[in-house]
Amino acid sequence: MNRRTKILALAVAIWAFLPGPSRAAEDASLLKDMTSVIALLGLPCGQVVSVVKKGENDHVATCQDGNRYRVFQNAQGRVVAEKQ
């Protein structure tokens, strides 16, 4: 293997294992959005610390106080949060 090929292989390996900045920004934005939705619905939460996407407009949010909510869009198009 020549030097150029080794450098290229190393660069690809490093790039594959580093998280992208856009993904981190998207995650932070989603956490803030879920925190806002749950607060606007009047449910106890504090702050959302993790979100798992279950489907289109369907997420499970875990709050810092331990509460978990399924946040989704119902058949009428309204955003709903159900305690899990």
Structure tokens at 9: 């292989």
Flag whether 10 is in a domain: no
Flag whether 38 is in a domain: yes
Flag whether 25 is in a domain: yes
Structure tokens at 5: 């090929």
How far apart (Å, rounded) are the C-alpha atoms in residues 13 and 2?
17
Q: Are 79 and 33 in contact (CB under 8 A)?
A: no
Number of domains observed in the structure of the chain: 1
Flag whether 16 is in a domain: no
Residue range of the domain that includes 62: 21-83
Mind listing the pLDDT tens digit for each residue in 11-50?
555 555 555 554 555 588 899 999 999 999 999 998 999 9
pLDDT of residue 11: 59
Flag whether 45 is in a domain: yes
Is the per-residue pLDDT at 6 higher than 70?
A: no
Flag whether 67 is in a domain: yes
Flag whether 13 is in a domain: no
Flag whether 37 is in a domain: yes
